[in-house]
């Protein structure tokens, strides 16, 4: 007897030819085609992981290896055509019988790694906290030392000086607490900011008696800020002039210096000259009056104060206007006291571009003529309505002082004068004021007039103007009624001198009585 072997093939076609015609191709799903070894044809075989009849629909069925062969020592998961081995929790390996299998994880090793990671994290946090604590401690120590420096080398000496020099003559500067000023400014809320500059931020504050004040807070706490703080405090404590912003008090308790001033309600001169597309809200007569009040205050600082004071930063943004449009000179942080035996001071150049005296800029020699130059720029602003420095203008017109001097030299003055000034002013009067401004703007300080001479010339010019019939005819101008209090202003042509050195206290000063120009 011999074994009988029955073999099958699909004749007369190869696999590649059979696959081209899917309707006659006999291999079903989960099967594969191979060319026959025993003749011209092809045979069908189930894919690996499947078994059954490849010629029947659904004839090749998935083999569950997890049941039939048990290939895993761990967890076996049957998949279509294959299987997956894995290890249970707490074990490691590939979970296969023919591989690494599954071995128990040593818990001590796992816990040791976790402890290392936890220890490193806790150590890092402790180091971070230690560094933060050290930084905070050093910062507080620095602040404490600086505050102590301020009190010992500025604050107490300044207070002693105030009490000894002014006791019985002026009201003492009030010393505010930190809590009082925090409450007045709603803890220095952003909505209370009036303005910001190089030296600090100014806040609007309301005291318990409903008095509105301006509180100046320095940006950073360093020696220069403390010196500027004490400097401004000492200078303002010696000034009693209606056209200089009044210092109400100060605070020694805070990290940064604080000064408290009277609140001037109507903004800066710069606002009124340059706002609304360069259309000024100030009449010609009003501009002259503001110029006269400003130069009167500066003349007082130069010649009538107990010690000569050089402002060093005169500009239209440092001239404030109150509700009656009365000028108030402000910001004395950069100012300097000049001893009686000195004509000039050698200082680090400080000021604002466009207003800065070129001679002072090149020599560092600060004199009273440096303030005269800066006031000349302000006077040119009042005449032209142009900013002291603007890169929006042509290159030869960017610097107002040079542009102004060039216009006068070329007899083109009236071309650059503000339209409102031209419409309201007498051309001869305008030219006289312009010539005075050009003299203030001369390059050499010795060629400029003194502040007292400027004040005298402006005063004389204004007296002539107030006696002119044109002024009397404009007493009923609607603008005058708008800008002046109807109760206290009458058109009688009275002019209060701003250059005199006699009546500078607030109680004795009489406002200008000018209807046509406010």
What was the pLDDT predicted at 516? 30
Question: Does 313 participate in catalysis according to the annotation?
Answer: yes
What was the pLDDT predicted at 142? 63
What was the pLDDT predicted at 213? 93
What was the pLDDT predicted at 329? 94
**Is the pTM here over 0.75, yes or no?**
no
Beta-strand relationship, 103-104 and 91-92: antiparallel
A 10 A CB-CB count for 226 gives 20
Instruction: Give the DSSP per-residue string, 231-273.
Output: HHHHHHHT---TTBPPEEEEESSSSS-EEEEEPPTT-BHHHHH
What was the pLDDT predicted at 502? 34
What was the pLDDT predicted at 282? 86
125-263: CATH number: 3.30.200.20
What was the pLDDT predicted at 232? 76
Q: What residue spans in the chain does CATH classification 3.30.200.20 cover?
A: 125-263
Taking only the tens place, the pLDDT of each residue in 284-342 is 999 999 999 999 999 999 988 878 888 888 999 999 999 899 999 988 877 777 765 55
Catalytic-role residue among 12, 16, 178, 313: 313
A 10 A CB-CB count for 241 gives 22
Q: What is the SS3 assignment for 493?
A: coil
What was the pLDDT predicted at 113? 67
- Phi then psi for residue 278, to 5 deg, are 65, 15
Residues of the chain with pLDDT under 70: 107-113, 140, 142-172, 197-199, 219-231, 255, 276-280, 339-349, 467-518
The CATH T-level fold of domain 267-518 is Transferase(Phosphotransferase); domain 1 (1.10.510)
Looking at 252-367, list the stretches that DSSP marks H as alpha helix, in order from N- to C-terminal side: 269-278, 284-299, 358-363
Q: What residue spans in the chain does CATH classification 1.10.510.10 cover?
A: 267-518
What was the pLDDT predicted at 314? 94
Sign of the alpha-carbon torsion through 321, 326, 327, 331: negative
What was the pLDDT predicted at 143? 59
């Amino acid at each position: 007897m011999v074994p009988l072997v029955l073999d099958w093939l699909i004749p007369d076609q190869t696999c590649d030819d059979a696959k081209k015609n899917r309707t006659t191709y006999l291999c079903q799903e989960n099967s594969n085609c191979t060319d026959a070894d025993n003749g011209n044809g092809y045979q069908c075989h189930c894919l690996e992981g499947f078994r059954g009849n490849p010629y029947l629909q659904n004839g090749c069925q998935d083999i569950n290896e997890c049941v039939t062969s048990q290939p895993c020592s761990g967890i076996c998961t049957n998949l279509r055509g294959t299987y997956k081995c894995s290890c249970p929790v707490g074990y490691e390996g590939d979970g296969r019988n023919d591989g690494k299998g599954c071995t128990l994880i040593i818990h001590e090793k796992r816990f040791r790694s976790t402890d290392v990671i936890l220890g490193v994290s806790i150590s890092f946090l402790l180091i971070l906290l230690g560094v933060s604590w050290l930084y905070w401690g050093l910062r507080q120590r620095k602040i404490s030392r600086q505050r102590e420096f301020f009190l010992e080398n500025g604050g107490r000496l300044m207070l002693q000086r105030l009490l000894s020099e002014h006791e019985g003559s002026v009201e003492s500067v009030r010393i505010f607490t930190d809590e009082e000023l925090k409450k007045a400014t709603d803890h220095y809320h952003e909505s209370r900011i009036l303005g910001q500059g190089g030296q600090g931020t100014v806040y609007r504050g309301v005291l318990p008696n409903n008095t509105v004040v301006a509180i100046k807070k320095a940006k950073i706490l360093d020696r220069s800020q403390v010196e500027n703080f004490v400097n401004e405090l000492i200078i303002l404590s010696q000034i009693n002039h209606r056209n200089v912003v009044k210092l109400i008090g100060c605070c020694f308790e805070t990290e940064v210096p604080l000064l408290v001033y009277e609140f001037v309600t109507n903004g800066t001169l710069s606002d009124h000259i340059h706002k609304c597309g360069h259309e000024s809200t100030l009449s010609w007569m009003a501009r002259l009056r503001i110029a006269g009040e400003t130069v009167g205050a500066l003349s007082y600082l130069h010649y009538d104060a107990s010690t000569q004071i050089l402002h060093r930063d005169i500009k239209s943004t440092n001239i404030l206007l109150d509700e009656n449009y009365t000028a108030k000179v402000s910001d004395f942080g950069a100012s300097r006291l000049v001893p009686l035996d000195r004509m000039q001071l050698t200082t680090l150049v400080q000021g604002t571009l466009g207003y800065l005296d070129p001679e002072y800029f090149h020599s560092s020699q600060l004199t009273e003529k440096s303030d005269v130059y800066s006031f000349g720029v302000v006077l040119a602003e009042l005449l032209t309505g142009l900013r002291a420095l603007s890169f929006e203008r042509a290159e030869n017109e960017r610097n107002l002082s040079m542009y102004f001097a060039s216009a006068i030299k070329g007899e083109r003055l009236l071309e650059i004068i503000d339209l409102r000034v031209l419409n309201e002013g007498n051309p001869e009067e305008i030219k006289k004021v312009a010539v005075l401004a050009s003299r203030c703007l001369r390059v050499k300080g010795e060629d400029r007039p003194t502040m007292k001479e400027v004040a005298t010339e402006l005063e004389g010019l204004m007296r002539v103007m107030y006696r002119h019939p044109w002024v009397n005819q404009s007493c009923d101008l609607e603008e005058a009624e708008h800008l002046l209090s109807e109760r206290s202003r009458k058109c009688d042509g009275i002019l209060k001198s701003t250059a005199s050195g006699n009546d500078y206290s607030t109680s004795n000063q009489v406002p200008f009585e000018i209807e046509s120009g406010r």
